[in-house]
């Protein structure tokens, strides 16, 4: 196993750096969230994100190294997210990673942010390839067959909004605050899911693609149909939204489980979920049920590693380095970078990868 790898992540609104050993020990994992900077706008503002990354990245990398108790000379390699994501932010982390690698004479590894999420479960648990992966965050909503390092087959993706984005927009429509996911979940707990009839986009359709923009529009209509939305009205809408999202996710994942089991008949059946939305307890329960019904075991990285972090980038670096996969310092930053280059482009607009 190679020695420790420094991982840097700046593709969205978290500035993060971590050091992970070749054996998977997390020596440090520093994450600085920009939530306060973006809160007044109810969403991530790319220019603000890029500037905020620049302001803290040097100090953050220094902290990750100090907490790990290592000098740059002790590293086996430096890994940084090279995409997909907000390009201004990606550039900040990528240039920093390249600079550290060049100055310390260490190999450089350009990590796909989605690969970071996809491999992260192997940092904390012995999960063998292949497995089925559901990645649900504010920017991504994909189902992937993870067949090995660098070997991914996309089974489904959203044709419009990511699920986290739909949670955030629902919260915005209902004036609940930002980020919306946890607030919608909390409100839904006291709501009646049957009062508002919301649509289940893509339910029962062939394949594993998702769509959430129609659901968001239906939430807006339900809200606009009320004179003044009371706390109970909002709770009922949240419960209806969450139930609809749960039905859609269970249906789409169910399709993917079937396809995966058919394509990999002789392997252990594991469904891995990651991304910020994986924190939602209702959706987790729906996923547990769907996985169990198909003979799969549901696994998820611990919450702090489900959301964006540096440890997952460092770990992807460890996995790549073990296979001799390093990258030149000329590697560009990429706003779009699908994990599965053979997957047909999703037909809708607003798809992140």
- Site residues (vs ligand KG4, CB under 6 A): 12, 137-139, 164-165, 167-168, 179-182, 185, 275-277, 279-280, 307-308
Q: Which does 179 bind (CB under 5 to 8 A by kind): ligand KG4, Zn ion, none?
A: ligand KG4
Output 193 or 339, the one with its CB closest to Zn ion.
339
Q: Which does 310 bind (CB under 5 to 8 A by kind): Zn ion, ligand KG4, none?
A: none
CB of 85 to ligand KG4, least distance (A): 8
How would you classify the pairing of strands 131-136 and 270-274? parallel
Output 167 or 196, the one with its CB closest to ligand KG4.
167
Q: Which does 114 bind (CB under 5 to 8 A by kind): ligand KG4, Zn ion, none?
A: none
* Position closest to Zn ion via CB: 308
CB of 69 to ligand KG4, least distance (A): 28
- The candidate with the shortest Cα–Cα distance to 19, out of 123, 90, 94, is 123
Output 20 or 237, the one with its CB closest to Zn ion.
20
Q: Which does 277 bind (CB under 5 to 8 A by kind): Zn ion, ligand KG4, none?
A: ligand KG4
CB of 150 to Zn ion, least distance (A): 18
Output 34 or 137, the one with its CB closest to Zn ion.
137
Query: What is the C-alpha separation between 107 and 133, in angstroms, rounded?
Result: 29
Q: Which does 279 bind (CB under 5 to 8 A by kind): Zn ion, ligand KG4, none?
A: ligand KG4
CB of 16 to Zn ion, least distance (A): 10
Q: Which does 276 bind (CB under 5 to 8 A by kind): ligand KG4, Zn ion, none?
A: ligand KG4
Output 21 or 309, the one with its CB closest to ligand KG4.
309
Output 283 or 321, the one with its CB closest to ligand KG4.
283
């Amino acid at each position: 196993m190679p020695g420790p790898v420094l991982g840097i992540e700046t593709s969205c609104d978290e500035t993060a750096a971590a050091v992970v050993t070749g054996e998977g020990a997390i020596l440090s994992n520093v994450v600085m969230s920009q939530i306060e900077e973006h809160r007044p706008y109810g969403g991530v503002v790319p220019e603000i994100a890029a500037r905020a990354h620049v302001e803290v990245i040097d100090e953050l990398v220094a902290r990750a190294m100090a907490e790990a108790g290592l000098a740059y000379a002790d590293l086996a390699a430096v890994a940084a997210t090279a995409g997909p994501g907000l390009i201004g932010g990606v550039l900040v982390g990528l240039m920093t990673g390249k600079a550290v690698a060049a100055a310390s004479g260490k190999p450089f590894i350009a990590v796909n942010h989605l690969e970071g999420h996809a491999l992260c479960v192997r940092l904390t648990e012995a999960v063998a390839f292949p497995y089925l992966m559901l990645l649900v965050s504010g920017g991504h909503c994909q189902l992937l067959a993870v067949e090995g390092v660098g070997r991914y087959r996309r089974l489904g993706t959203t044709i419009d909004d990511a699920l986290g984005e739909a949670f955030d927009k629902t919260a915005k429509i209902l004036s609940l605050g930002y980020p919306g996911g946890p607030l919608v979940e909390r409100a839904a707990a006291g709501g009646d899911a049957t009062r508002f009839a919301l649509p289940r986009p893509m339910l029962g359709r062939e394949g594993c693609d998702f769509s959430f923009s129609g659901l968001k529009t239906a939430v807006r209509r339900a809200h606009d149909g009320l004179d003044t939305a009371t706390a109970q009205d909002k709770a009922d809408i949240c419960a209806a939204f969450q139930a609809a999202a749960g039905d859609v996710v269970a249906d789409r994942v169910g399709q993917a489980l079937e396809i995966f089991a058919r394509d990999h008949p002789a392997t252990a059946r594991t469904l891995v979920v990651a991304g910020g939305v994986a924190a939602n307890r209702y959706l987790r329960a729906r996923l547990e049920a769907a996985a169990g019904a198909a003979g799969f075991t549901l696994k998820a990285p611990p919450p702090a590693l489900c959301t964006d972090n540096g440890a997952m980038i460092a770990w992807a670096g460890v996995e790549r380095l073990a296979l001799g996969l390093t990258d030149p310092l000329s590697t560009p930053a990429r706003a779009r970078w699908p994990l599965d280059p053979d997957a047909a482009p999703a037909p809708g607009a607003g798809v992140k990868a």
